[in-house]
Amino acid sequence: MDFPGNDITFLYSPDVNHCQLLCTQHPSCLFFTFIRADWTHDDRHFYCYLKSTPSGEPSVQTPVQGVTSGFSLKSCSPGPQPCLSELYQNMDFIGGDYRSVFTGDHKECQRVCTQDPACQFFTFVKQNFLNSKVRYKCHLKFSWTVPRTPVIERKAGVTSGFSQKTNQTQHFDKVCQRKLFPNTDIPGSDIESLPAASPEHCQTLCSTHPRCTYFTYSRQYWARVAYEGVDFKGSDIRDELMDDADTCQKTCTEDPHCQFYTYADETFFDRSYRRRCNLKRVITIPAPPKVIKVTNVVSGFSLKNCP
């Protein structure tokens, strides 16, 4: 069954259950359509289309071979980090690589991924793979598990921040170097560019990424380090009337689905938004950048979140 149209975006997903979890964690997704491996209309496979309508229901339902559709599980209050124990034969999780090792089989590869703090998913090359040089190779892969604010804007009359339950669980082999160097640029050698609200926020993002060893934060958009006058735009899950930003932060921290927030105070230019606390979230479950069919490989996820 296809739910055509009403697309918000699409992401790659190895199966329909993972696609449903992506929809559940996306702030505005209400239902989805997943294109399976047996789809034959074109070369799209493993596409997870996230969708929404004002009514919360699909506009159209069309019987089509090779797709599966369903609804967000938001109302079921699922855990923020589900166990992803499925293994995917002849499926390659493309991208996100930061390290590779040779292991005896895919189970050992999954164990190495589970024990590595940075690893979120993997692809293992089996013994009968065509290229003998990469047989038994275990590719460890990374995706963001800390919330990343998609858009950060300077705006008067608002205060933004993060849930206080959000913490960093990365481990380090080297001595921790907390010192920041103001007015100093380290040019070149960039691996990624992300919006960040402060140097400390940028440092946390760098510390979480397994390949990042140092960073440069540009303050050209901000008047001060505090998140006053900063809008974390979009990604809203709900909003409530509140008296101050501290109450908004406390509410976000107590809500298991809230990761960050923006509060509009009495000076905000739009009166209809004043005293509104907007609770926000983004997808943080492991999500491969791309999924394709490849013979004689096995892919899967870390079992860190599994009992």
Segment 25-44, tens digit of pLDDT: 999 999 999 999 999 999 99
pTM of the model: 0.84
Q: What CATH number should be reported for the domain holding residue 92?
A: 3.50.4.10
* 162, pLDDT greater than 80: yes
Say if residue 88 is in the same domain as residue 197.
Answer: no
R_g of the chain computed on alpha carbons: 21
Say if residue 89 is in the same domain as residue 127.
Answer: yes
Total tally of structural domains belonging to the chain? 3
Say if residue 204 is in the same domain as residue 271.
Answer: yes
> Which of 57, 78, 99 is the last residue before a domain boundary?
78
**Nearest alpha carbon to residue 9 among 27, 18, 17, 1:** 27
* 161, pLDDT greater than 60: yes
Residue 192 lies in a domain: yes
At 23, is the pLDDT very low, low, confident or very high (cuts 50, 70, 90)?
very high
Residue 1 lies in a domain: no
- Average pLDDT of the chain to the nearest whole number: 90
Q: pLDDT > 70: what percent of the chain?
A: 94
Interval 41-61: pLDDT, tens: 999 999 999 999 999 999 999
Say if residue 294 is in the same domain as residue 226.
Answer: no
Say if residue 104 is in the same domain as residue 164.
Answer: no
Say if residue 194 is in the same domain as residue 94.
Answer: no
Say what the pLDDT of residue 185 is: 84
At 176, is the pLDDT very low, low, confident or very high (cuts 50, 70, 90)?
low
Residue 128 lies in a domain: yes
> Which of 78, 101, 118 is the last residue before a domain boundary?
78
The pLDDT of 112-129, averaged and rounded, is 96
* 220, pLDDT greater than 70: no
Q: Regarding predicted confidence, which is higher, 146 or 105? A: 105
Q: Regarding predicted confidence, which is higher, 191 or 13? A: 13
Residue 2 lies in a domain: no
Residue 92 lies in a domain: yes
Say what the pLDDT of residue 261 is: 95
Say if residue 276 is in the same domain as residue 155.
Answer: yes
Residue 168 lies in a domain: yes
Say if residue 102 is in the same domain as residue 53.
Answer: no
* 236, pLDDT greater than 70: yes
Interval 72-85: pLDDT, tens: 999 887 777 899 99
Say what the pLDDT of residue 257 is: 87
The pLDDT of 108-128, averaged and rounded, is 96
Q: 26 and 150 in contact (C-beta within 8 Å)?
A: no
Say what the pLDDT of residue 224 is: 34
Stretch among 63-72, 162-171, 272-281 having the lowest mean pLDDT: 162-171
Say what the pLDDT of residue 145 is: 85
Q: Which domain holds residue 71?
A: 7-78
Say what the pLDDT of residue 232 is: 94
Residue 20 lies in a domain: yes
Say if residue 68 is in the same domain as residue 105.
Answer: no
> Which of 78, 110, 132 is the last residue before a domain boundary?
78
Say if residue 59 is in the same domain as residue 159.
Answer: no
* 148, pLDDT greater than 70: yes
Say what the pLDDT of residue 301 is: 98
Say what the pLDDT of residue 118 is: 93
Say if residue 186 is in the same domain as residue 301.
Answer: no
* 223, pLDDT greater than 50: no
Say if residue 163 is in the same domain as residue 264.
Answer: yes
Residue 26 lies in a domain: yes
Say what the pLDDT of residue 79 is: 76
At 191, is the pLDDT very low, low, confident or very high (cuts 50, 70, 90)?
confident
* 299, pLDDT greater than 60: yes
